[in-house]
Amino acid sequence: MNLFKGFIFDMDGVVVDNHHYHFQAWMEFAAKYNFPLNAEIYRNKFNGKTNADLFRMIFGEITQSEVERLAWEKESHYQRLYEKHMKPHVGLIDFLEFLHSNNFKVALGTSAPTSNVNFTLDKLLLRKYFHVIVDGPQVSRGKPDPEVYLMCVEKLKLTSGECVVFEDSLAGLESGKRAGCTIVGVATSHRPEELTAMTNLIIPDFTEARKLLSL
């Protein structure tokens, strides 16, 4: 029997399977600002990164106020696209209820901006399940740096070895692995075989999530 005490969830692609809508918003944003973007670039270079890192990758050294303006524009469009389609990932609610009924600690560790975290957790009534929330603006170094997950572990008052991270992006998997946590890959934005090298378990959704308790 393992000694897991904490479970840390990424948001986009994990709590919600929403990458289609982020990708659509980014493609329209790319067309407006005339920079190259396609599905492969998005999956391998965009997925899991903070807005600040992405906008500076695209536009170079821009001011924080410009980052915030661009982020508001892109995320407002994403929220309009996704709002009518929102739902928790398959099996998520049952798994979160299981974790709470068994007194596990639960955190959200995401690169997403606070506006998207509020949009997702409050629209879907999920906030009550998370003891700790760490989002993009709270960290100085985005994924694949381990800062976001190390901060979650610290706020949960646990050790990395006691925590499981659920991630879908390659940058996020690396972040969780570098933080020293057990890694569960959620195969939404990548094929299962792409996640194998950095995961202890791969799941399509949360209907099989309890398997990790036997790792």
- Give catalytic residue positions: 10
Distance CA 6, CA 104 (A): 6
Going from the C-alpha of 143 to that of each of 117, 140, 173, 176, the distances in angstroms are 17, 10, 9, 9
Distance CA 151, CA 143 (A): 12
Name the DSSP class of 63: -
Tokens of 187: 């195969």
- For residues 142, 144, 145 and 151, what is the CA-based torsion angle, rounded to 10 degrees? 70
Encode burial over 12-26: b for 16+ CB neighbours within 10 A, e otherwise: bbbbbbbbebbbebb
Sheet with strand 163-167: strands edge to edge: 132-134, 105-109, 6-9, 163-167, 182-186, 201-203
**Centroid of chain to Cα 68:** 20
